[in-house]
């Protein structure tokens, strides 16, 4: 019912405030008149799809300290359903089955080794009663895998490892082949290759497709000294879902050293290419290239860059390999290099969409480079990021001109892409990156939220904006549409967060500072509900004590901050609006109070664990001195 002619009449039907003020990344699941969502901290809620009344909720009670296990916020991307049951993963590694009608717990299974920094943020998939789930942790140092569980009782049916174990421990043919592509003692570092998001299933071929994440650590000089392709990181893999048996793979970024996961949304489609029908799987990869593969064989059909790329000149269609820029190989040169795209990717986890009538794929794209600086004398730590990249050396300087130039070069777009000709048809430019997932509808519309507090509808053919609504917060999740009693609805989760709202510092606010106001929003034609008045972004003033400490102490604090603190509290100690800004914290004026939190973990229940395992009291004090220095620098720039 909702189409280009009447979308202007779309209004809010109902909304529900959520109880977790962190990133909301789940796509709602709508079944038999009920909207099911997962929220931050792996909570589940069920709402009447017509009225918005809460039917039930389930809290798996994830401990706050589990937050240290994830790189990119305490998010969850949704549920799967089979019969009367719902399935979802938790941040602390459980796979849980609930009764769909009541929310009652049916079973819970631990899917990871909790002595290692695994987590689950992605949604499971269900194939003929088999629940497929992966995990996250590639920034921390784990060995990736995907596994299947019986939907009835939670019994594990199979597990497929994506990277090899130590030599001699790899019994399956696919791992024996992979072993030859690794060097050094990779298995002691985990290797990475986590299956943390995208999967797809082709019932005709009976193949499960999984996207595999980055290597661990990122820097290949440490992960696999001497190089190698490091199979099967950054790969799209086809498996037999009944057994987990390997069928084929395609590796997008062999020997990755830039965090170029291949975990982005996988879309299956039937296209006519060169005059004949082709069954394909498509991905707008994090590395900036759009891939079209034969989904029966994994053969590369075509690939082209859909944003600016400088780490490779293109993809050799004969070998399927990237034509790399040698200067970008920081693991080999040992020198810094600004790589485009950076670790935020040209496209991250946000779902894209395909409309078979227009023949276009709609990509939530972004353009943001990053100065990769190899970390000298890197060693694995038992806590925090293990990347082999010196984030302190790459930190944004307190220079207004540099900041302005970098912010101007950091942007986002909704790109309509022709997968047959590998050409852009239109784009909607956004001031900043980290915009929402995409929904293409039968009404000729493309819906997307963005980082500038807007939810909008565009014409699928031309890209013209036809409707928009202010939602008071950033939207990163993808919408869904459903129909009840002849009325069509569009639902989306809103709530600013995720890695871009945390780690990039001042760059997290390219589109403007955005509060987290977490809600489920549901629209229909003629909807007249109103959100409460919007509250402005407010911040305590910068009022730090005087800068003290030796230059050496402050430099040491910067190094440790970059590795252990910046992922949550922001590059160069500049936090966004989601987590505390340490420059503005009263704790920096009191060394003992600071140590009670950062060393002893006084706030562990809130997700702020102590770092006594990896940092000495002297190092923790040096971080405080560094934050004080940064606060004074930014105060001098006008409290920015």
pLDDT in tens, 119-155: 999 999 999 999 999 999 999 999 999 999 999 999 9
Cα separation, 290 vs 262, whole angstroms: 11
What is the pLDDT of the chain when averaged over all its residues?
98
Specify whether the CB–CB gap between 368 and 394 falls below 8 A. no
State whether the Cα torsion 490-494-498-502 is positive or negative: positive
pLDDT for 12 equals 99
Helices 551-564 and 617-636, interaxial angle, to 10°?
100
Residue 49 per-residue DSSP state? T
Considering only CA atoms, give the Rg of the chain: 23
pLDDT for 640 equals 74
Cα separation, 423 vs 214, whole angstroms: 27
Q: What is the mean pLDDT of residues 21-47?
A: 99
pLDDT for 628 equals 98
Specify whether the CB–CB gap between 491 and 558 falls below 8 A. no
Catalytic residue among 234, 259, 390, 571: 259
Instruction: Give the rounded distance of the alpha carbon of 421 from its chain centre.
Output: 28
Length of the chain: 640
Cα separation, 192 vs 172, whole angstroms: 18
165-183 pLDDT per residue, tens: 999 999 999 999 999 999 9
Cα separation, 32 vs 40, whole angstroms: 24
Specify whether the CB–CB gap between 396 and 570 falls below 8 A. no
Cα separation, 487 vs 464, whole angstroms: 25
Residue 92 is a catalytic residue: no
Neighbour-count burial of 318, counting CB atoms closer than 10 A to its CB (0-12 exposed, 13-18 middle, 19+ buried)? exposed
pLDDT band at 639 (very low <50, low <70, confident <90, very high): confident
Specify whether the CB–CB gap between 279 and 270 falls below 8 A. yes
339-379 pLDDT per residue, tens: 999 999 999 999 999 999 999 999 999 999 999 999 999 99
240: which 2 tokens?
């037999």
Beta bridge partners of 426: 416
pLDDT for 187 equals 98
**Which of 225, 216, 243 minimizes the C-alpha distance to 117?**
216
**Which of 340, 319, 344, 314 minimizes the C-alpha distance to 328?**
340
179-197 pLDDT per residue, tens: 999 999 999 999 999 999 9
125 CB-side CA count, 13 A: 18
422 three-class SS: coil
Neighbour-count burial of 418, counting CB atoms closer than 10 A to its CB (0-12 exposed, 13-18 middle, 19+ buried)? middle
Specify whether the CB–CB gap between 562 and 390 falls below 8 A. yes
Does residue 57 come out as left (phi exceeding 0), alpha (psi in the -120 to 50 range) or beta? beta
**Residue 343 vs residues 25, 74, 191, 214, 347: alpha-carbon distances, Å:** 19, 19, 17, 10, 10
Cα separation, 339 vs 368, whole angstroms: 9
487 three-class SS: strand
Instruction: Please give the residue that has the higher pLDDT: either 503 or 640.
Output: 503
Backbone angles phi, psi at 95, to 5 degrees: -110, 125
Specify whether the CB–CB gap between 413 and 365 falls below 8 A. yes
Does residue 67 come out as left (phi exceeding 0), alpha (psi in the -120 to 50 range) or beta? alpha
Specify whether the CB–CB gap between 218 and 258 falls below 8 A. yes
Domains of the chain by start residue, with CATH = 7-525 (2.140.10.10), 551-636 (1.10.760.10)
248-287 pLDDT per residue, tens: 999 999 999 999 999 999 999 999 999 999 999 999 999 9
**Residue 370 vs residues 345, 585, 610: alpha-carbon distances, Å:** 10, 28, 29
Question: In the predicted model, is pLDDT for residue 8 greater than 90?
Answer: yes
**Residue 244 vs residues 122, 150, 373: alpha-carbon distances, Å:** 19, 13, 38
**Which of 295, 216, 321 minimizes the C-alpha distance to 261?**
216
pTM: 0.98
């Amino acid at each position: 019912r909702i189409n280009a002619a009447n979308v202007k009449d779309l209004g809010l039907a109902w909304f529900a405030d959520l109880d977790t003020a962190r990133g909301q990344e789940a796509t709602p699941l709508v079944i038999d008149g009920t909207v099911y969502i997962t929220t931050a901290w792996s909570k589940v809620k069920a709402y009447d799809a017509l009225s918005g009344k809460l039917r039930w909720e389930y809290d798996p009670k994830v401990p706050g300290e589990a937050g240290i296990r994830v790189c990119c916020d305490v998010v969850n991307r949704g549920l799967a359903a089979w019969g009367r049951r719902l399935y979802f993963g938790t941040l602390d590694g459980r796979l849980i089955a609930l009764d769909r009608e009541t929310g009652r717990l049916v079973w819970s299974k631990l899917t990871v080794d909790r002595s290692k920094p695994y987590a689950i943020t992605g949604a499971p998939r269900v194939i003929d009663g088999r629940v497929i789930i992966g995990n996250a942790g590639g920034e921390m140092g784990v060995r990736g895998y995907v596994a299947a569980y019986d939907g009835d009782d939670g019994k594990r049916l199979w597990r497929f490892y994506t990277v090899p174990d130590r030599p001699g421990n790899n019994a399956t043919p696919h791992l024996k082949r992979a072993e030859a592509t690794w060097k050094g003692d990779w298995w002691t570092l985990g290797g990475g290759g986590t299956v943390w998001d995208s999967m797809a299933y082709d019932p005709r071929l009976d193949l499960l497709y999984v996207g595999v994440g980055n290597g661990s650590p990122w820097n290949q000089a440490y992960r696999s000294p001497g190089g190698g392709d490091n199979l099967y990181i950054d790969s799209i893999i086809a498996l037999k879902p009944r057994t987990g048996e390997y069928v084929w793979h395609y590796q997008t970024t062999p020997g990755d050293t830039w965090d170029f996961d291949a975990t982005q949304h996988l879309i299956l489609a039937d296209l006519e290419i060169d005059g004949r029908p082709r069954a394909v799987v498509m991905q707008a990869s994090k590395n900036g290239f759009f891939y079209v593969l034969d989904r029966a064989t994994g053969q590369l059909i075509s690939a082209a860059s859909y944003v600016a790329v400088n780490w490779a000149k293109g993809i050799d269609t004969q070998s399927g390999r990237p034509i790399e820029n040698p200067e970008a190989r920081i693991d080999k040169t040992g020198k810094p290099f600004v790589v485009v795209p950076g670790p935020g990717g040209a496209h991250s986890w946000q779902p894209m969409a395909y409309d078979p009538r227009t023949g276009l794929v709609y990509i939530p794209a972004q353009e943001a480079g990053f100065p990769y600086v190899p970390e000298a004398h890197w060693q694995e730590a038992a806590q925090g990021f293990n990347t082999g990249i010196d984030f302190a050396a790459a930190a944004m300087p307190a220079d207004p001109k540099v900041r302005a130039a970098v912010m101007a070069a950091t942007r986002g777009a909704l790109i309509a892409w022709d997968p047959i000709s590998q050409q852009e048809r239109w784009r909607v430019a956004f001031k900043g990156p980290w915009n929402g997932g995409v929904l293409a509808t039968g009404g000729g519309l493309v819906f997307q939220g963005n980082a500038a507090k807007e939810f909008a509808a565009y014409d699928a053919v031309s890209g013209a904006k036809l409707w928009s609504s202010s939602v008071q917060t950033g939207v990163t999740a993808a919408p869904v549409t459903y129909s009840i009693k002849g009325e069509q609805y569009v639902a989306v989760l809103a709530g600013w967060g995720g890695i871009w709202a945390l780690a990039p510092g001042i760059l997290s606010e390219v589109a403007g500072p955005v509060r987290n106001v977490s809600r489920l929003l549901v629209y229909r034609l003629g909807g007249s509900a109103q959100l409460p008045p919007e509250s402005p972004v407010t911040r305590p003033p910068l009022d730090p004590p005087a800068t003290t400490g030796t230059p050496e102490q402050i430099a040491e604090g910067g190094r440790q901050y970059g590795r252990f603190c910046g992922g949550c509290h922001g590059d160069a100690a500049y936090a966004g609006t989601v987590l505390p800004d340490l420059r503005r914290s009263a704790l920096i004026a009191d060394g003992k109070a600071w140590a009670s939190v950062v060393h002893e973990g006084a706030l562990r229940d809130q997700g702020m664990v102590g770092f006594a395992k990896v940092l000495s009291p002297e190092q923790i004090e040096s971080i405080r001195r560094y934050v004080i220095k940064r606060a004074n620098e930014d105060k001098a720039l006008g409290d920015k």
